[in-house]
Amino acid sequence: MRAFNRYILFLVLAAFAINTTIAFVSPNDLTVFFTANVIAFLVITVLNAYLNPRARRSLSAVGIVLFSGFLAIVILKSVDVLSR
């Protein structure tokens, strides 16, 4: 199995496991789904750092966008907690 195919397989399996677990535990908050999937994406991407340079550049761009979304959620939740 090629490295990129293994990477995609790990992403799919992690997303399946995370989303089904969260759906059974707390399905009311969409930010939990997004945050858990972003963390899984970033961890799996770091663990598969041996991909070719073009694929790594693309995944870095996607990671930056997802991480900025994650930071936006953290900032909004922090403001919500501090304003109470």
Give the pLDDT confidence of 30-77 residue by residue, as tens digits: 888 888 999 999 898 888 777 777 777 888 888 889 889 889 989 998
- Select the more confidently predicted residue: 1 or 5: 5
**The predicted structure's pLDDT at residue 28:** 79
CA distance 56 to 61: 9
pLDDT band at 78 (very low <50, low <70, confident <90, very high): very high
**The predicted structure's pLDDT at residue 20:** 92
Return the ∠ at Cα 44 (arms to 11 and 29), rounded to 5°. 65
Q: pTM of the full predicted structure?
A: 0.77
